[in-house]
Each structure stands twice: as structure tokens, then as C-alpha cells.
Amino acid sequence: MASREQFSSKFGFIMAAAGSAIGLGNIWGFPTQTASNGGAAFVVVYFMMAFALAYPALMAELIIGRHSKSNILTALRGIAPNQASRILGTGVGIYGVIIASLILSFYGIVAGWMLCYLAESVTSLLGWDSASQWLVSFGNERNIISMGIFMLLTMYIIANGISGGIEKWSTRLMPMLMVILAGLIIYVMTQPGAGEGLRVYLLPDFSQLKPSLFVDAMGQAFFSLSLGVGTMLVYGSYLSNKESLPRLGVMVTLVDSGTAFVAGLLIIPAIYVAKQYGANIFTEAGDLIAGPDLIFQVLPTLFESMGAIGMWVALAFFILMSIASLTSSISMLEVPVSLAVEETSFSRRQATLVIGTLIFGCSTVILFNFGTLFDFVINLTTVYSQPLLGLMLCVFAGWIWHRDNLLQEIKAGHPEIEGTFFWKVWPNYVKFVCPLLVLTTLIQSIGG
Ligand code: TRP
């Protein structure tokens, strides 16, 4: 095998991992979950989940990945000490790769919509009315074309490999994302109604602290940190042994939850500004509109009513959403592509082409059966499979893998770690606490 590519710097890894983590889950999912789950009460529980559960699971992936220097399937088989656990590793690996691909097949559809609204803000600036109308109509033709274009962008980056593809584009796009996000927040804060939104977002309503809130917060944390399917595992596998994994993990978790929190400072106030401008922001049941209607109706109504500047705000907003989607989707595609490159004779380019086309086919099937398949695939992958896979990865790190190897890998790049809190707590934590917590929540979500 040719020598394996690596991220060229720590900064490159952090941008790539943050790029994977920061996506629609942060900018859309987190703020709306917060708004419909009692404001800051959800924020508090979410941060607890992110650090007490998602961070340890993230560490399991990074440690297994860097040690094995391979994709999820080869990695799990490699650390399995006997035949039975090798079979289990194969099963979990295949399951993870399939789920990663399915996540991409619905994520690509949604990301395609973002591209459409991005294009629409340009066509409406130019006064091209019929193009604008086509771009915001919900037709199969529009949906397939936009999803296809988004898939091509994703494939283009992945075909160029780690440092020349994933790292290069993440380090370009993520700083842009941060600047646009900050600019939009500053602008929205000057608008009437923003204060009311801020209050809804930041004042906790602890009467809403019910069990389902914990389930939602955990699901959100797993999705947001891209856990379970081997994304972070494979990113970890491109890390040099010189880096300290626990520190990098903390940084990625902080940047991810920090960005989710900051995105809430944009989205929730924007909803209340839209209300001031006359948009209807509540469903018939009296809840805040949170689904696609929020992004594709409430906010566009807001942009339109802002006059000339609204078009520029819309442009910035949908560029933000498109960047967030793209740096996440590449991390999903890397999961099956890394497996194909390492376990078959395909080159990276061939593997990207074949797998990208297959996922494009999946997305097309979902689009043609939108009513039955779209929500089904989202639930199957994110609500059930991701926590289950996360659980299995903790079991591999805590129970199946030889403890000495595990400790040695943690020590690499961080020689003075013995004696730290992480060293003392994490190995048992990932062995007992994480699986138990995930299991409890899974049972909850199946029961509910
Ligand atoms: N974390 C991303 C978001 O918040 C989505 C994502 C990227 C993801 N890679 C993943 C989700 C792997 C699950 C699995 O939008």
C-alpha cells in the first residue's frame, strides 16, 4: 500500500474535524431544538451531554482511529483479539459505513435546497424571476439537480484526498463560515424584535426539564459531533502520533458546541425579527415553527421584508448554510471511500466516483418517495443507529481492545498524561458509564 496521507498540521485537523462537526445540526438543529425545548434549560442539558457523553465517545473514535491508521472496518477488526470479536468488528464496521452513506443521502438533499436558495438570492438580485421561481419550487427536477450538484462538490473535494482535499477546503471554508456567522449576528441584533428572541433563547424554563429533553439533547450531541459511523475515527487515523488526542478532542468539542450556541444567537432572534415584520412564526399548536418551513419560509419572508439589504443578508445566510453542509458532507463520504481505498484495488478517484454515484442513486430514490422515505431514513440513521453504533465503539474501546494498547495510544503525543484526570477517569468511564447512558437513552427513544 502507498504511504498513508496525513493532515499536514494540527490546525488542519482542527478545521477539518470542526468542519465535520459544525453543520446543519449546529446552525439549524440546535437553535430550533432549544427554542422548542424550554430555551436555556435545553442549552444547559446539551452542554452536559456534549461533555459527559459525546466527548468520551469522540475520544474512543479518535484513539481507535489513530492507533489503527485505517477506516472503521479495518480498525475494528484490527483491534479485535479473537475470532468472535473480529466478526463483531466486521458487522459494526459495515453497519457504520452503510449508515454514514445513508446520512449523506438525506443530508445531500437538504444541502441541495441550501444551494437553491443561495442561487435564488443571486437570481432575484438580477431580477430573473422565472429562474427564481423554479429555484424555490419543490419539484423533483429541482431537487435532483441541486442534490446532484452538491454531491459533485463533495466528490470533488474527497477525490483530492486528505491534505489536498479535506484539509485544504476546511481551512479555507471554516474561517469564512465564522466571519459570516459573526456578521449576520451583529446585523440581526440591530433589528426590532431581536431582544425578545434573545430572551426566549437565554431565559431557562426549567419546568420543561422532562426525560424526552435528555433524549433529544443526547441525539443532538451525537449528531453534532458526527459520532458513531466512523467519521471521527477516520479523521483521527490521519493524525500524527505527535499530537495529544485528549486536547484535540476537547478543542473540537468546544468549537462545536460553542458554534451551536452562537448560531442560536442568530437564528432565534431572527425568528422574532421575522415576527415583527409580520411573518407567522408559530404552528397551529402554538409551537415555534422549526422544520424546513423555518429555513425556507420564515427566514426568506424576513429577508424579503428587509428591502434591498435583505437580498444580501439572504445571500450571506445561504452561503453560510452551504459551507456548513459541505464541510460536513465530505466527512461522511470519506467513511466509505477510505474503506474502498484501503480494502480494494480502487484508486481514490475511482472509489469516489463509484460510491458518490451510488449515494446519488440513494438520494434519488428518497426524493421519488419523499413522503415515506425522508423522515424514515433520518430516524433510522440518527435516532437509532448513531447511538447504537456509538455504544458499540465504546464497547470496543473499553471491553474488547487490549487495555495496554489503549493506554499506550492515549500516551502517544502526550507523555505526561499519566496522573491527569483524563487518564484516571476516561478508560473506566468509556467502559461503564457511556454504554449505560447511551443504552438508557436508546430504550427511552424506542419506548417513546
Ligand atoms: N455533524 C454534522 C452536523 O452537525 C453532520 C455530520 C457530519 C454527521 N458527519 C457526520 C452526522 C457523521 C452523523 C455522522 O450537521
Q: What tens digit of pLDDT does each residue of 211-232 get? A: 778 888 888 999 999 999 999 9
304 CB-contact burial (10 Å; exposed 0-12 / middle 13-18 / buried 19+): middle
Q: Into which CATH architecture does domain 10-447 fall?
A: Orthogonal Bundle (1.10)
User: What pLDDT, in 10s, does the model give residues 247-268?
Assistant: 999 999 999 999 999 999 999 9
Residue in the block written with cell 422515505: 373
Enumerate the domain spans of the chain: 10-447
CA angle 390, 94, 234 (to 5 degrees): 60
The verdict on the CB of residue 311 being under 6 Å from ligand 1 is no
Substitution site in 27, 99, 102, 223 for ligand 1 pocket (most atoms within 8 Å of beta carbon): 223
pLDDT per residue over 98-113, tens digit each? 999 999 999 999 999 9
The answer, yes or no, to whether any atom of ligand 1 lies below 6 A from the CB of 442, is: no
Find the 305 Cα to ligand 1 centroid distance in Å. Answer: 33
Choosing from 331, 333, 385, 388 the residue with most ligand 1 atoms within 8 A of its CB, the one to mutate for a pocket test is 331
- In percent, how much of the chain has pLDDT > 90? 75
Q: How many CB atoms lie within 10 A of CB 418?
A: 11
Check pocket membership of 23 for ligand 1, CB cut-off 6 A: yes
Enter the pTM of the model.
Answer: 0.95
Cα 392 to middle of ligand 1, angstroms: 18
Q: Is the pLDDT of residue 1 over 70?
A: no
Mean pLDDT of all residues in 360-375: 97
**Residue 288: predicted pLDDT:** 83
395/138 Cα distance (integer angstroms): 43
Counting residues of the chain whose pLDDT is more than 70, the rounded percentage is 99
- Alpha-carbon distances of 96 from 76, 91, 303, 438, rounded to whole Å: 11, 9, 40, 17
